[in-house]
Amino acid sequence: MTANAPKLFVKSYGCQMNVYDAERMADALAPEGYVETQSAEDADLIILNTCHIREKAAEKVYSELGRIRKMKQETGRAPKVAVAGCVAQAEGAEILKRAPVVDLVIGPQSYQRLPELLREAAEGRRPVDTDFAVEDKFERLAKPSPKAIASRGVTAFVTVQEGCDKFCTFCVVPYTRGAESSRPAAQLIAETERLVAAGVREVTLLGQNVDAYHGEGPDGRTWSLARLMRALSEIEGLARLRYTTSHPRDMDDELIAAHRDLPKLMPYLHLPVQSGSDRILAAMNRKHTADEYLGLIDRIRAAQPDLALWGDFIVGFPGETDADFEDTLAIARDAAYASAFTFKYSPRPGTPAADMGGQVPEAVKDERLQRLQRLISDQQAAFARSLVGREIDVLLDRPGRHPGQLAGRSPYLQPVQITAPGAAVGDVIRAVVTDTGANSLFAAPAGGARDILHEPAEATA
């Protein structure tokens, strides 16, 4: 690394897979001498790693490109500008037309070709690569150094599955990420071992439909997600495993049993339902009913009663009536979420729902979103309060705001603030939850905080 090494700035939007991909792009450019910077102003290469899921997300890229154009004019600097991610995949060469500031467009399946495309861009061509048929992309991507891994912290993502064949009528993902494909288990075990050897303690397995994972196993058989997690659980030094996001139709008995049998698998499950109305679920092409979803939750809770369930909801899907929306509130109540992501339906060009009749007025969507969000935030607060007085394990992942203070995560993924002199980032410590904040928990090391358990009555809640 030299003082005048070229600097890379990646800005990611959208889901966690883009966070993972951003690291892969940095890894692909490290052998070319690129070092990462935290600001666009001093970058030699700016990559916007975009999301196409809702209109607002997709439009962000153009406002950001406008800011970059202005920054170039004002500073006289001339960084190369690349658009990557799902907008790149969906819009391809259109982006070059709409934004002359862009030097190259690259879809998620092509990141291993980034160095090559940059060379083309340096020659003044404006390459567009949105090829889908890329074999073994992950094996061809450069591997991060132990130092690069350590600089990214004690938690890491690993993409195990990409793409989606479900074609929910509202969703662009099958078009931007392509058909479902799973990485071979041996690759994933090796990648996780590399992460753990460099200090990572928690790995979250990623996929658009992660529970549809069906990769080639080292034994020549097809491995399920549960089978893969059993193997990863055996890696010494790995403290925690998570996976996200799951589709209800792919949650099978083996995966449910994994929640009971694998101590390293955290009691956390992100299982979107989208709507509580059978009519709307059918129009969305989700292929399950509200009752089937609730029955599934019952079976999962029977295997693992201590579970933080996260949902996703869309309000204002075409044709959604007040009665349909009441069904959504009802399923949210019945499923007893620890939290959920809530969205207003956003018509996406090229998806079937965008052309359906009965589009819901914006004001109605707003009102429904607010009501649902009130319910979810009450549930989130109730879930957090239920933990006060309880002992939990906290993975310390960052220094806190004050000396001696550290920040970490509960098993349920809530941020935790804790004063724990002598403890270090990367430790998993036993702690007692003492209080709840707006979006986090406060805790004290279990040994030194015993008397908290003998305080007010709600401590036993």
Closest approach, Cβ 48 to ligand F3S, in A, equals: 12
- The entry of ligand SAH, ligand SF4, ligand F3S, none that residue 14 binds, CB within 5 to 8 Å by partner kind: ligand F3S
Binding mask 118-157 for ligand SAH (x = CB under 6 A): ----------------------------------------
- The entry of ligand SAH, ligand SF4, ligand F3S, none that residue 203 binds, CB within 5 to 8 Å by partner kind: none
Closest approach, Cβ 14 to ligand F3S, in A, equals: 3
d(CA 67, CA 350): 28
Q: Examine residue 50 and tell whether it contacts ligand SAH (CB under 6 A).
A: no
Q: Examine residue 164 and tell whether it contacts ligand F3S (CB under 6 A).
A: no
Q: Which is nearer to ligand F3S, 21 or 324 (CB)?
A: 21
Q: Examine residue 10 and tell whether it contacts ligand F3S (CB under 6 A).
A: no
- The entry of ligand F3S, ligand SF4, ligand SAH, none that residue 273 binds, CB within 5 to 8 Å by partner kind: none
Q: Which is nearer to ligand SF4, 167 or 341 (CB)?
A: 167
Sign of the torsion formed by the C-alpha atoms of 195, 200, 201 and 204 = negative
Is 168 annotated in some ligand binding site? yes
Q: Which is nearer to ligand SAH, 131 or 165 (CB)?
A: 165
Q: Which is nearer to ligand SAH, 70 or 341 (CB)?
A: 341
From residue 161, alpha-carbon distances to 212, 238, 429 in Å are 8, 21, 32
- The entry of ligand SF4, ligand F3S, ligand SAH, none that residue 314 binds, CB within 5 to 8 Å by partner kind: ligand SAH
Is 51 annotated in some ligand binding site? yes
- Report the residue from 6, 92, 153, 174 that binds ligand SF4 according to the rule CB under 6 A: 174
- Report the residue from 168, 256, 331, 441 that binds ligand SF4 according to the rule CB under 6 A: 168
- The entry of ligand SAH, ligand F3S, ligand SF4, none that residue 346 binds, CB within 5 to 8 Å by partner kind: ligand SAH
The footprint of ligand F3S on residues 81-140 (CB under 6 A) is 85-86
Strands 222-224 and 214-216: antiparallel
Is 107 annotated in some ligand binding site? no
- The entry of ligand F3S, ligand SAH, ligand SF4, none that residue 167 binds, CB within 5 to 8 Å by partner kind: ligand SF4
Nearest CA among 356, 340, 292, 345 for reference residue 314 = 345
Binding footprint of ligand SF4 on the chain (CB under 6 A):
164, 166-168, 171, 173-174, 208-209, 247
Binding footprint of ligand F3S on the chain (CB under 6 A):
14-15, 17-18, 51-53, 85-86, 172-173, 176-177
User: Where is the binding site for [4Fe-4S] cluster, in residues?
Assistant: 15, 51, 86, 164, 168, 171
